[in-house]
Structure 1
Amino acid sequence: MKNLTEHTTVQPLFQPFQLGALALSNRIVMAPMTRGFSPGGIPTEDVASYYRRRAEHDVGLIVTEGTGINHPASVSGSSIPLFYGEKALQGWEQVVKEVHTAGGKIAPQLWHVGMTRSPGDEPNTEAMPVGPSGLALTGEKVSEPLTTKEIHDLVSAYAQGAADAKRLGFDAVEIHGAHGYLIDQFIWSHTNHRTDEYGGDLKGRTRFAVEIVEACREAVGPDFPIIFRFSQWKMSDYKAKIAETPEELEEFLTPLVEAGVDIFHTSTRRFWEPEFEGSDLNLAGWTKKISGKPTIIVGSIGLNGEFTSGAGAETTSLDGLMERFQHDEFDMAAVGRSLLMDPAWAEKVRDGRADELQAYSRESLNNLY
């Protein structure tokens, strides 16, 4: 294992970050990772303790696993946490209290899986998957396209989640617009064949995301931070792109900025890969350059294998990450698998305890460390 601080200091990652009312002690973010330890959609005491432990060990901002918005087909699985209903929200309120008691900051990720859900999936087996055109990510017709009224209802459900996040004491809210889930299914031309105002060109396909951000902004007011997570790749197609050029990326980002996004969480599989030909900038770097907004970088940070490979991974240097930070390509760094299995990862990196860092094992998915 290469020493994480062998060549380049990581201390800049442990400088404070301030955006309006959001004051973070450092730039380390816990990336959202679906865990499935919330029976009946209700986060338990174990879930609260899981997040608290990261706050205790110097994670600057925790973004929760994806939480289902108030729609019968929002998640696929009976143990995926929900973000509606009295019991589920009480569970999240306890999570917030524990994280805050430990000195941490936390944001829920609002999620709808869209057409990645299979007919008959729990928790609502009678609910059909929904999407812009009723198409699975592979292109097959599964259900009818969403009506305009159904789209408006979904927008309202996201806004309700954002309002509840603020009411429960969360420090920000993240909207999951990545990886081929519902919002991304509208953005991606492969799954959006609509000819109305929610389809067609990139501007039309982005309209659903824009209306969600606008509704969330109205629900939480001007000072509550809204994070928007997006990706080029999809779970079904790692080479997919919603923007083939920087110009197209600008066409996508600009209306989202105008709608009220404060921070972009740019999901890549490998953070070190350039996004477009002719430049070394990755997706976070391009997004920050175009939008002027802070960005969160993510994608196999501190490990030598991407999470979508389904395999284990060894620890590796953060030199490349720090080089991009020095070039002002991003503001925060989101860490997934390393924090999933080791609550003290950030603390160990901060203190130069590289010899204590652990390789990632898939078995860690079965536990709440």
Structure 2
Amino acid sequence: MDPRLEPLFTPWKIGKCEISNRIVLTSMGGTNLLGWMEKNHFDKDGARFIMEVAKNHAGLVLPGCQPVYNPMFGQWLYKNRKMYEDLKEWMPEFHKTGAKLFIQLTAGFGRSFTISKMMESLYTNKFLRVVSKPFMDLDKITASASPSPNRWSDKVPSREMTVEEIHEYVEAFAKCAKLLQEAGVDGVEIHAVHEGYLLDQFTLKYVNRRTDEYGGSFENRYRFPVEIVQAIKKECGADFPVSLRYSVRSMTKGFREGGLPGEDFKEAGRDMEESEKAAKYLQEAGYDMLNCDNGTYDAWYWAHPPIYMPENCNLQDVEHIRKFVDIPVVCAGRMEPLAAAESIAAGKIDGAGFARRFLADQEWVTKMMEGRDEDIRPCILCHNGCFNMCHYKGVPNDQELSDSLHLSRCAVNAETLQWKKHYIKKTSSPRKVHIIGGGIGGMEAARVLKLRGHEPVIYEKSDVLGGTFIPASAESYKDKLRELLAWYRSQMKALDIEIHLNEEVRDTAGFEDEPVIIATGAAPRILKNVPGHERMIEACEYLNGAEVGEVVAVIGGGLTGSEIAYELALGGKKPVIVEMKDDLVSQKGVCLANSSYLREWFALHQVPVYLETTLKEVKENSIICRGKDGKDIEIACDSVISSAGYIPAPLQGHGDEAYLVGDCYKVGNLRSVIWRAYETAMKI
């Protein structure tokens, strides 16, 4: 292990609870021990994930948050005594790992509850609203400190919680904490004065406009979380540790509008001055630890950083707030282990929080300790598998129901929390399997086939493995994608997979009866009906190094086009985005944390964006477009990049036992490529 990492592996205490090292698994929905968006029960899949993380040297483990009032079916968490008994039976096995377990309890989401189209229908139809109440009472689930707009939908506003409801929640926290203590859990974490969830909504002036004892003054706005910790301490005793998930700064300009890194703006929520006071106040109330980051759902990219956010994006603020308390402070948010170790060694923070890294590779801490960094499968911060709540103009949460009910799966690791569906099963009949195409899909298929006992052979027409993932990972800020590409290449070498570079396969006739996996990718959509289209530079050509001028028109404002425009601007160019739809990144599968960052960044930096606009002609030094008003617009530019999408390009004339994977089957994202490649390799 790199000796600079040693501070991460020193013991520390939360109250009287000693933790073996400073690595903290922070809570993620979907890794719950007592069920998620379903009837509460002891969740064996959640337990398996938590156990794997604990076995691999996490010091403190926090499973997914548990609402004390279940949004689905309206059940209070303390009612089901059987699951606490099951948890108690499991805890001794967990404690054999040497890790400690805190269960995160939440009051819920309030105005941040992710509303879908189906939920809008349930709420706006009076009959359905009544009928659906027993399993989804949206009026109760979305209630907030004051009447407020929902983060996702204009059709399901939040009403004001009553004082009686608040007292009911406080009592529920205390009852749940007592049952968890009796089950052998080491502590609880209260979620949260953090991320604009319900308790945070009470503390934030732009949401809380109450005039009773829970609104107005500083003490009144923080009364709800204070009463919770006091009730828990009264029920469980002063020595039972209670952590608080805490956002140091809200980084929020107002409803549905965040403040970007480096932006000078007026804080609508908690600024640093208030946070200095609040942190001390919450410590005095009884909290034993602050588990910190920044942001709200209105500025979601701080709490769920996409790849565009800086590494260690919250560290400076958390180090600052540590000066104002005497209790341990943990920092989370794109944390890098070396930076965390340095901060811990200097006494600036006490623990380092990591989350999605564990989804990509539950063994990453063990591998880091053993100096096997090249074996760590990296998280690429895409949110495609773990948290792909998608939102764009006029549409609430656009997400498959299976994703909504099964969070914390992983785009780059098909097995995570899908062990019943995706697992390595050894073959009893080893075969040679020919794989046409050495991109991510081809390499994932080869990896799984080899682990099963087959003999995969990759044929790649270029001189290097990677396919379109090479340009896809080329932008300056995509270091994590380049790490994933390096991981796949190293896996091919470690598994001794036969690879033929510079060998293009035009048909599969020579493979006789042996199975073939076709992973030949997709071809760019060419706008042949646009005069002058031959003047355009295709997106991958630009990403592979094609030169462009000073002012660059990007045709297509989906994720690829928006990321290209972002890279152009970072490099000092002047991009102009032309998009046919009425919003940028108007596509399913892209998390709001990712898409809102790009939209707000373009607005802040005054990047021209033409929505509901169609390209008509490409000229020598300009483009002609038709605007949403039906009139033609001429936009001056030096270069034009086409990001109009891709069309599957499978190898033609393949035999009976041939399988398509990746974009040659259906154009998607990295998750769809990896998961299908895994599943295909399991069929052979």
* TM-score, normalization by structure 1: 0.81
**Sequence identity of aligned pairs in percent?**
28
Q: 1:125 aligns with which of 136, 149, 154?
A: 136
- Please name the residue that 1:110 is paired with: 105
1:202-213 to 2 correspondence within 5 Å? 202-213=218-229
Are residue 349 (structure 1) and residue 368 (structure 2) matched?
Answer: yes
1:189-338 to 2 correspondence within 5 Å? 189-231=205-247, 232-233=249-250, 236-239=256-259, 242-245=269-272, 247-268=273-294, 269=302, 272-273=312-313, 282-302=316-336, 318-338=337-357
Q: Deviations over 1:50-109 (max 9, x none)?
A: 11111111110101111010x3xx43x57x995652244344435534322333210100
2: distance between equivalents of 1:36 and 1:12? Answer: 27
- Please name the residue that 2:6 is paired with: 11
Are residue 155 (structure 1) and residue 174 (structure 2) matched?
Answer: no
- When structure 1 is superposed on structure 2, of 48-57 and 15-24 the one drifting more is 15-24
- Please name the residue that 1:30 is paired with: 25
State whether residues 77 and 176 of structure 2, in contact with CA within 8 Å, keep that contact through their aligned partners in structure 1. no
Query: Structure 1 354/81 Cα, relative in aligned 2: closer, same or farther at 3 Å?
Result: farther
Query: Structure 1 122/293 Cα, relative in aligned 2: closer, same or farther at 3 Å?
Result: farther
Counterpart residue identity of residue 333, structure 1: A
1: distance between equivalents of 2:338 and 2:6? Answer: 12
State whether residues 206 and 269 of structure 2, in contact with CA within 8 Å, keep that contact through their aligned partners in structure 1. no
State whether residues 101 and 186 of structure 2, in contact with CA within 8 Å, keep that contact through their aligned partners in structure 1. yes
Greater C-alpha radius of gyration? 2
- Please name the residue that 1:311 is paired with: none
State whether residues 271 and 282 of structure 1, in contact with CA within 8 Å, keep that contact through their aligned partners in structure 2. no
1: distance between equivalents of 2:290 and 2:282? Answer: 10
Report SS of the residue matched to 1:132: coil
1: distance between equivalents of 2:291 and 2:230? Answer: 18
Q: How far does residue 175 in structure 1 lie from its aligned partner after superposition?
A: 0.2
Q: Deviations over 1:199-226 (max 9, x none)?
A: 1133321111111111111121111111
Query: Structure 1 271/167 Cα, relative in aligned 2: closer, same or farther at 3 Å?
Result: farther
Are residue 96 (structure 1) and residue 91 (structure 2) matched?
Answer: yes
State whether residues 15 and 27 of structure 1, in contact with CA within 8 Å, keep that contact through their aligned partners in structure 2. yes
1: distance between equivalents of 2:218 and 2:269? Answer: 8
Report SS of the residue matched to 1:23: strand
State whether residues 115 and 182 of structure 1, in contact with CA within 8 Å, keep that contact through their aligned partners in structure 2. yes
Query: Structure 1 226/123 Cα, relative in aligned 2: closer, same or farther at 3 Å?
Result: farther
- When structure 1 is superposed on structure 2, of 116-125 and 217-226 the one drifting more is 116-125
Q: How far does residue 296 in structure 1 lie from its aligned partner after superposition?
A: 0.6
Query: Structure 1 173/149 Cα, relative in aligned 2: closer, same or farther at 3 Å?
Result: same
Report SS of the residue matched to 1:10: helix
Q: Whose RCO is larger (CA < 8 A, sep 6+)?
A: 1
Query: Structure 1 241/134 Cα, relative in aligned 2: closer, same or farther at 3 Å?
Result: closer
Q: How far does residue 20 in structure 1 lie from its aligned partner after superposition?
A: 3.8
Counterpart residue identity of residue 132, structure 1: A
Gaps of 5+ in 2: 123-131, 260-266, 295-301, 303-309, 387-407, 410-415, 420-684
2: distance between equivalents of 1:205 and 1:91? Answer: 37
- When structure 1 is superposed on structure 2, of 109-118 and 161-170 the one drifting more is 109-118
Q: How far does residue 170 in structure 1 lie from its aligned partner after superposition?
A: 0.5
2: distance between equivalents of 1:169 and 1:215? Answer: 19
Report SS of the residue matched to 2:64: strand
Query: Structure 1 148/29 Cα, relative in aligned 2: closer, same or farther at 3 Å?
Result: same
State whether residues 137 and 191 of structure 1, in contact with CA within 8 Å, keep that contact through their aligned partners in structure 2. no
Report SS of the residue matched to 1:264: strand
2: distance between equivalents of 1:186 and 1:97? Answer: 38
1: distance between equivalents of 2:341 and 2:133? Answer: 42
2: distance between equivalents of 1:36 and 1:326? Answer: 30
Counterpart residue identity of residue 63, structure 1: L
Q: How far does residue 124 in structure 1 lie from its aligned partner after superposition?
A: 2.7
2: distance between equivalents of 1:338 and 1:194? Answer: 40
State whether residues 21 and 223 of structure 1, in contact with CA within 8 Å, keep that contact through their aligned partners in structure 2. yes
* TM-score, normalization by structure 2: 0.46
Q: How far does residue 27 in structure 1 lie from its aligned partner after superposition?
A: 0.7
